[in-house]
Structure 1
Amino acid sequence: MLLIALLCAGVLIKVPYAEMTPGPTVNTLGDHDGEPVLDIKGHKTYPTDGHLNMTTVRVTSPDYRMNLFQAVAGWLAHDNVVVPHETLYPDGKTEEQSTQENAEEFSQSQESAKVAALRELDIPVSTRVVVATVVKGNPAEGKLHAGDVIKSVDGSPVRKPGDVAKLVTKHEPGEPVVFTIVPAADAAAAEKAGEEPASTERVTVTTARAGKSGAEAERAIVGIQAGTDHTFPFTVDIKLADVGGPSAGLMFALGIVDKLSPDDLTGGKFIAGTGTIDEEGTVGPIGGISMKTVGARAKGARFFLTPADNCATAARDIPDGLTLVKVDTIDDALDSLKKIREDRTGALPACTTG
């Protein structure tokens, strides 16, 4: 009877944990669902060989609740990781909110990968600061619109998104701020015609308080979020559905460089990896690194490009036959790829637990 009671308890008791398992891994140099993952038009491309695989992690949905037996089984399994539910879904996010956030991060990672790759090849990319979002109910609503190009604030040139907030918060709440913009429609028309926008508009917005009490009350806002937009000299489409998050940025960037370069980056080797990337080519850490190395090795990868900040964790349990390669930037990754294709693997920067 005691055993039956324990079995029933194990099934019925729900625990606040979620599970991560290895997800699909896709060759950025190849096809997926019958289409090239990287589709480049308007610029000469070169044949590629080998693999530059991006890796993923499967996670249980926000609404899924594990029972005690499932949690214990996950803790004992080598290829699964059980983590507190709030680690994957902080602040009680719904599945819809999580999916939307992952889609936005994935889209931004594609944009950053394109910029980083083209800049690595000294191909010019035009960048401009734009209104990314307008917060409803704030002073900018109806005056500024998503897609408007911000040229200056109070006459001071805007070169990066952070400049906008700095210039706005110089004001006291209730003071006017003058934005010099190119309206979104004019900017889109000029881009389509391959021209620079010919005219600008001045828009005055009266600032509001950011909060109701404390230090926050003294900060002036207009209710927009600034971002960046780019004009590419040719088309680079990344066609990969049902993937979210920013962690494929590095591998997308390397795939683009490979397709636009006469040199074969892989030397026919099977290389996988992960890592965010920004427009300057800096590689950032990601989650689920141990699941990604397991998934990559299972598909045949021999080398794994690992963000430096993930190295210590990844090195604690390296799948047999897989070499972890430490990378901080896209230049590090390209240098390591050269060593791999030249069979100078002893010179690779290795991940360690220290």
Structure 2
Amino acid sequence: MKLRSQARSRTILWGAIPVLAMTYLATAPTVPFTSIPLTVPYAAESPGPTFNTLAEFEGKPIVAVTGTETDPTSGNLNMTTVSVYSQLTFAQALSRWLVHDDTLVPIEQIFPPNLSQTEVDHQNKVQFSQSESAATLAALEYLERPTAVEVVDIVPDSAAQSILMPGDRIVAFAGQPITEPSQVREKVLAGQPGDTVELSVVGAQATPETQPETKTLTLGKNPDTGNAFLGITMGAVAADGTKVEYNLKDIGGPSAGMMFSLAVVDKLSPGELTGGKFVAGTGTIEENGTVGPIGGIKHKVQAAADAGAEVFLAPSANCAEAMSKTHEGLTVLKVDTLAQAIDQLNAYNSGGEVVRCEK
């Protein structure tokens, strides 16, 4: 056992065992002694795999940019993840906490009780898809490249079904030009279920000479919120023919957004953001480039350190937790926006002044 685990066990073991044991006994149903071991209502979080967004995954670039000239890249821009273990017995949970230094969290934080596993997986995939779209838009806007709104998917039995198609581009809403998905969302939410709206749309096979077609739709009602509902999933794309695709499978959630944006910027701009170094990080990304906090950052920092990273980019709101343990040779930099993350990397690579996370 590692020394840090031994020290930790001396201080908290005797208090922890009763808490876990009482929770285990209080939640466990009465079953025969010979039954399969019962599980505790906790999940364990630990450092997960980390992926270089400048590299390939299963033979494809994790961030593929086509339709335009790209700039050579080097080094690493690694996104980081958290591994989650559930269906743990009391002994397994205790072992992961004391021996592996995992974090134990109530199972409902990972798997909400009102959602099935399939629904949770779908929700994570949707978040990941939205994160990819926001990453693309944030990068293109940072680079001052024109953007457009593309229909990614249609919700069955929604207002858009049979009227819009995946690949359609929405260029105007009620006569007003559209360049970002958030503009469509704002206009839909400003309406009421039953309102009639007009969209100017060009199809997936349109040429620069193709004239937009007017599509008339009646807004539906969101079954969860009661708000007006168009019924489409949208993505941000480059308006100049540049195509950005993300080829990382079986990863959910929005926390890779900033690293995806950095990879797009690195491939579409002169020079190398990494300076040839091993950079890792995490953080959500908004369409306007704002970087948001994520969960499990201490495990992501650990994963980056274990992989050999020299620099870690952390959302400012996560700085205290990111610095809860010192990692020799790893510099943790504080970021709030995509532009700041790029400025921080440029300053670090040139020996300039950087803003570090503090405890």
Unaligned ranges ≥5, structure 1: 1-5
Contact persistence 1:149–1:187 (CA under 8 A): yes
Helix, strand or coil for the counterpart of 1:271?
Answer: strand
Structure 2 match to 1:177: 196
- Select which of 90, 95, 101 maps to 1:68: 90
- Check 1:131–1:156 CA distance in 2 against 1; reply closer, same or farther (3 A cut): farther
Helix, strand or coil for the counterpart of 1:350?
Answer: coil
Helix, strand or coil for the counterpart of 1:230?
Answer: strand
Structure 2 match to 1:51: 76
Contact persistence 1:48–1:264 (CA under 8 A): yes
- Check 1:141–1:43 CA distance in 2 against 1; reply closer, same or farther (3 A cut): closer
Contact persistence 1:79–1:291 (CA under 8 A): no
User: What CA deviation, in whole Å up to 9, does each residue of 1:137-159 have, x standing for no partner?
Assistant: x6666666666655666667767
Structure 2 match to 1:349: 355
Output the amino acid matched with 2:143. Answer: L
Output the amino acid matched with 2:89. Answer: N
Structure 2 match to 1:3: none
Structure 2 match to 1:41: 66
> What is the aligned residue count?
324
Helix, strand or coil for the counterpart of 2:149?
Answer: strand
Contact persistence 2:40–2:89 (CA under 8 A): yes
Query: 2:176 & 2:217 partners in 1: Cα distance?
Result: 14
Helix, strand or coil for the counterpart of 2:305?
Answer: helix
Report 1:119-158 matches (<5 A).
119-122=141-144, 124-128=145-149, 133-134=154-155, 136=157
Identity %: 39
Unaligned ranges ≥5, structure 2: 1-20, 29-35
Query: 1:57 & 1:17 partners in 2: Cα distance?
Result: 15
Q: CA RMSD in A?
A: 3.3
Output the amino acid matched with 1:198. Answer: Q
Are residues 1:240 and 2:240 paired?
Answer: no
For normalisation by structure 1, the TM-score amounts to 0.78
Query: 1:237 & 1:220 partners in 2: Cα distance?
Result: 31
Contact persistence 1:290–1:313 (CA under 8 A): yes
Report 1:320-339 matches (<5 A).
320-339=328-347
Structure 2 match to 1:101: 123
Output the amino acid matched with 1:87. Answer: Q
- Check 1:68–1:257 CA distance in 2 against 1; reply closer, same or farther (3 A cut): same
Contact persistence 1:303–1:322 (CA under 8 A): yes
Contact persistence 1:315–1:351 (CA under 8 A): yes
Contact persistence 1:281–1:330 (CA under 8 A): yes
Report 1:158-237 matches (<5 A).
160-169=183-192, 176-182=195-201, 186-190=202-206, 193=207, 195=208, 197-203=210-216, 205=218, 221=228, 224=231, 227-231=234-238, 233-237=241-245
Helix, strand or coil for the counterpart of 1:188?
Answer: coil
Are residues 1:277 and 2:285 paired?
Answer: yes
Query: 1:222 & 1:45 partners in 2: Cα distance?
Result: 38
For normalisation by structure 2, the TM-score amounts to 0.77
Contact persistence 1:161–1:226 (CA under 8 A): no
Superposed displacement of residue 228, structure 1: 4.6
Output the amino acid matched with 2:191. Answer: V
The answer to which of 299-308 and 224-233 deviates more is: 224-233
Superposed displacement of residue 126, structure 1: 2.5
Superposed displacement of residue 271, structure 1: 1.2
- Check 1:125–1:199 CA distance in 2 against 1; reply closer, same or farther (3 A cut): closer
Structure 1 match to 2:7: none
Structure 2 match to 1:265: 273
Contact persistence 1:265–1:337 (CA under 8 A): yes
Are residues 1:89 and 2:114 paired?
Answer: no
Output the amino acid matched with 2:318. Answer: N
- Check 1:38–1:197 CA distance in 2 against 1; reply closer, same or farther (3 A cut): same
Structure 1 match to 2:18: none
Superposed displacement of residue 132, structure 1: 5.5
